């Protein structure tokens, strides 16, 4: 899953893709590099990022989705928590909802159920404004699994069939480095939820802190974590560097073929 942020304050690209043309060009490049799907977001979810209203989020994302739909039939995921944005994005051609709030915002559950597209339910402790202040868990793996199991149940109760649900432990969303690494190491346990596993580790601040590197120097750290996640059973990797990650995953796949 290739990441296309249309946010001017995007942490990973310094806002380079805040204009339509640049975002469109970037998305096309990710498709050419081998992305199996594109995740388009209009509101930053990084710690402390400013919230925007639904109209602005729609303005940033929907023209891009429409334009991509004209040139490609690649699956497009809309990264949003707002029911209005989900509706507008799917009407424009998005085929999946990626919600860091796991459909806990107003009308999101019912809207996603009505739209009939797959959803990714992500774990987050707190809110993007406050989540990194002092995240605490007694048992991070058990608590993340319990939360995701509850959201799967809520989604199913709202009418979203299990086959359309995937989950994500939400690396960096209300988690210390130790929480993130513990979760990564225990990713196999999340597979017991019985739905596909999506993970986003690409360029995250955990890598920056461990390696002491800014976002544009986190490629090796990102690829390393992507490979570890894939080895632990992640089904979908949400990444900025599609070509490099695709090569790394191809190497892992080759190894698995001789193991089979």
Residues of this chain that bind ligand 9MG (CB under 6 A) = 41, 45, 79, 98, 100, 120, 122, 168, 170-171, 198, 200, 238
Q: Is 204 a catalytic residue?
A: yes
Confirm if 242 and 34 have CB atoms less than 8 A apart: yes
- CB of 41 vs ligand 9MG, minimal distance in Å: 5
Select the residue whose beta carbon is closest to ligand 9MG and give its number.
Answer: 200
- CB of 180 vs ligand 9MG, minimal distance in Å: 10
Radius of gyration of the chain (CA): 17
Q: Which is nearer to ligand 9MG, 31 or 167 (CB)?
A: 167
Q: Which is nearer to ligand 9MG, 121 or 259 (CB)?
A: 121
Q: Which is nearer to ligand 9MG, 47 or 170 (CB)?
A: 170
A 10 A CB-CB count for 89 gives: 30
- CB of 98 vs ligand 9MG, minimal distance in Å: 5
- CB of 6 vs ligand 9MG, minimal distance in Å: 12
Catalytically annotated residues:
204, 238
């Amino acid at each position: 899953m290739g990441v296309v942020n249309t946010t001017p304050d995007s942490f990973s690209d310094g806002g380079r893709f805040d204009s339509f043309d640049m975002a469109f060009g970037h998305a096309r490049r990710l498709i050419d590099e081998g992305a199996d799907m594109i995740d388009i977001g209009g509101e930053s979810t990084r710690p402390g990022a400013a919230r925007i209203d639904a109209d602005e989020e729609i303005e940033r994302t929907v023209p891009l989705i429409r334009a991509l739909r004209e040139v490609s039939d690649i699956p497009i995921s809309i990264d949003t928590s707002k029911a209005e944005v989900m509706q507008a994005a799917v009407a424009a051609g998005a085929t999946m909802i990626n919600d860091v709030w796991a459909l806990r915002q107003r009308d999101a559950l019912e809207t996603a159920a009505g739209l009939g597209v797959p959803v990714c339910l992500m774990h987050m402790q707190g809110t993007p404004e406050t989540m990194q202040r002092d995240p605490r868990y007694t048992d991070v793996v058990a608590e993340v699994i319990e939360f995701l199991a509850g959201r799967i149940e809520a989604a199913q109760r709202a009418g979203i069939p299990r086959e359309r649900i995937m989950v994500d432990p939400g690396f960096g969303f209300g988690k210390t480095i130790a929480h993130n690494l513990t979760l990564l190491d225990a990713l196999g346990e999340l597979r017991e939820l019985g739905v596909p596993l999506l993970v986003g580790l690409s360029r995250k601040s955990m890598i920056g802190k461990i390696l002491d590197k800014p976002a544009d120097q986190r490629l090796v750290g990102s690829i390393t974590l992507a490979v570890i996640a894939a080895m632990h059973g992640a089904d979908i990797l949400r990444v900025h560097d599609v070509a490099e990650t695709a090569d790394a995953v191809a190497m892992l796949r080759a190894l698995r073929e001789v193991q089979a």
